[in-house]
Amino acid sequence: MSSPSVTSQTTRQSTPPASRRAAPGPDPDELQRSQENAVVQMLDVPDVADELAARFAARGHRLYLVGGSVRDALLRGSGGSDREPGDLDFTTDARPEQILAAVRGWADAVWDTGIAFGTVGLRRGDRILEVTTFRADTYDGASRNPEVRFGDDIGGDLVRRDFTVNAMAVELTGDERRFVDPHGGLAALAQGVLDTPDVPERSFSDDPLRMLRAARFVSQLGFTPAERVAAAMTAMAGELSRITAERVQAEFSKLVLGTYPRRAVELLCDTGLAGQVVPEVPAMQLETDEHMQHKDVYTHSLVVMEQAIERETDGPDLTLRLAALLHDIGKPATRRKEPDGRVSFHHHEVVGAKMTRKRLRALKYPKALIDDVTQLVYLHLRFHGYGKGEWTDSAVRRYVTDAGPLLDRLHRLVRSDCTTRNRRRAAALQRNYDGLEDRIAELRRQEELDAIRPDLDGNAIMELLGIGPGPAVGKAYKYLLALRMEEGPLGPELAEAELRAWAAENL
């Protein structure tokens, strides 16, 4: 409660002289309009968007630049993102057939594969544009298939979008551009917060993939989910099972390829969504690794992924990042406590490779990527023991041959797998790997390691042994290849002598 003296003073000076009165504050509505005008001026709207808007305006329709196009333009304008401009998304009161009429003769190409959902795609020059009729869909709650209903106003369209930062629009068909932000997307963008225009439970029920998309935006843009969004993701994680594996995989790949994938993976694990996508990752929690240097294998794997990203040279590498994240998923199944109290994970690379293949198949990844990630997981421990000096040239050749075109990625993965806090040990591991790479380089100069083959090909084998095509040729070829691995290049004469000696005993 205020003191009497303060109250008295306030009363006596409640009407100060005009010269001392504070200037009236700005009108809130006027201030908001001023801010919105400034936002519109920030936007670098391509000429092609204005051309399209003129065609819609001439036909009495409204056209809005909307969604990610506006969000990313604002981020670029404020210096908050270096994301390259992508496709342009628009929404309109025009119905699909009216959209087609408006772009006919102007677009270089038109496709209507999404016209049942009100979407017309088109190309003008080198820009891809997508125009969609206002939507006011309803969902049955059991699948992702909506009952498509077209809306009549921008407000109804924006409220059904996934996040407030994607629920901003700029009208292009009025006398002047108008910024539309009924759900506070601009403020959320400035604060880096992900929230939903509608209550998150309803939004995620309409499309459960939005929960995974939230984690993707955490990775790509560094955003943080609002508390109510994270709570809904946790409560509704099981709803993701309604979504096809292909769509889940597409979002997960974008998440892994983002700028902050560790944050996103942690969000997936904290909310339980990882159990629907990659349950092997949260299963690594609380599993102490063999070096006793990390709280758990889970944390170690996240650090390895971050270190692998630091070693990328040609942009984000999905194969390398997946291998880094999954390389130790075989540890929980192989965890053993030894008599001396240490924890071991014998053959976890073998078990982990099988688990990796199974998980990536379930997510419908392409076979080539599955094979590559699985092989990296399988090979990631091969290097250990090299520093003791027992590796022969034959072992180096096998290392290179087994890695094949994955050798550079394997180098990065193995180096990243060193997360010990013991600086001396870490330095020793890096020196040992430097030594291995030096030996590989030297053998490559001498022996064409990247294409190791026997000294005799199949035709030469058949001619020398006087046999035709068949299993015997394959056996002879494998023998010469193994010999090549052990001894290096033999030359034709010695190879022929070795082959004759082998054939005398085996054919």
Nearest to 398 by CA among 384, 379, 373: 379
Q: How far apart are CA 387 and CA 382, in angstroms?
A: 12
Report strand pairing: 127-133 vs 88-92. Answer: parallel
pLDDT at residue 362 tops 60: yes
Residue 255 in tokens = 């998440």
What pLDDT is stored for residue 426 in this prediction? 82
Phi first, then psi: what are they for 133, rounded to 5°? Answer: -65, 145
Phi first, then psi: what are they for 74, rounded to 5°? Answer: -65, -40
The answer to whether residues 222 and 263 touch, using CB atoms and an 8 Å cutoff, is: yes
What pLDDT is stored for residue 83 in this prediction? 58
Nearest to 54 by CA among 111, 96, 112, 106: 106
pLDDT at residue 264 tops 90: yes
Q: How far apart are CA 136 and CA 146, in angstroms?
A: 10
Burial environment of residue 180 by CB neighbours within 10 A (0 to 12, 13 to 18, 19 or more)? buried
pLDDT tens-place string over residues 12-47? 334 444 444 444 555 556 655 666 666 666 677 889
The answer to whether residues 70 and 169 touch, using CB atoms and an 8 Å cutoff, is: yes
pLDDT tens-place string over residues 121-137? 999 999 999 999 998 76
Residue 242 CB partners (closer than 8 Å, separation 6+): 142, 143, 144, 208
Burial environment of residue 105 by CB neighbours within 10 A (0 to 12, 13 to 18, 19 or more)? exposed
Q: What is the mean pLDDT of the chain?
A: 84
- pTM of the predicted model as reported, rounded to 2 decimal places: 0.79
Residue type, 167: A
Find the length of the chain: 507
What pLDDT is stored for residue 444 in this prediction? 74
Query: Kind and range of the H or E element at 131?
Result: strand 127-133
The answer to whether residues 170 and 80 touch, using CB atoms and an 8 Å cutoff, is: no
Question: Could you write out the DSSP letters of every residue in 224-248?
Answer: EE-HHHHHHHHHTGGGGGGS-HHHH
- Percent of the chain scored above 70 by pLDDT? 82
What pLDDT is stored for residue 386 in this prediction? 67
Nearest to 205 by CA among 275, 139, 147: 139
Question: Could you write out the DSSP letters of every residue in 361-385?
Answer: HHTT--HHHHHHHHHHHHHTTTTTT
pLDDT tens-place string over residues 302-336? 999 999 999 999 999 999 999 999 999 999 988 88
pLDDT tens-place string over residues 274-303? 999 999 999 998 655 555 444 589 999 999
Place of tokens 């628009």: 90
Residue 472 CB partners (closer than 8 Å, separation 6+): 465, 507
The answer to whether residues 482 and 506 touch, using CB atoms and an 8 Å cutoff, is: no
Query: Residue 166 carries which DSSP code?
Result: G
Answer with the residue of higher pLDDT: 286 or 73.
Answer: 73
What pLDDT is stored for residue 398 in this prediction? 83
CA dihedral (178, 183, 188, 194) in degrees, to 10, reads -130
HEC string of 18-82 equals HHHCCCCCCCHHHHHHHHHHHHHHHCCCCHHHHHHHHHHHHCCCCEEEECHHHHHHHHHHCCCCC
Q: How many CB atoms are closer than 10 A to CB 179?
A: 22
Residue 344 CB partners (closer than 8 Å, separation 6+): 290, 334, 335, 336, 337, 338
Q: How far apart are CA 302 and CA 308, in angstroms?
A: 10
Q: What angle do CA 201, 203, 209 make, to 5 degrees?
A: 105
Place of tokens 């929404």: 91
- Percent of the chain scored above 90 by pLDDT? 52
Q: What angle do CA 427, 429, 433 make, to 5 degrees?
A: 115
Q: How many CB atoms are closer than 10 A to CB 345?
A: 21
pLDDT at residue 72 tops 50: yes
pLDDT tens-place string over residues 394-418? 888 888 888 989 999 999 999 999 8
Report strand pairing: 127-133 vs 169-171. Answer: unpaired
Can you give the C-alpha Rg of the chain in angstroms?
32
Nearest to 320 by CA among 308, 329, 307: 308
What pLDDT is stored for residue 99 in this prediction? 96
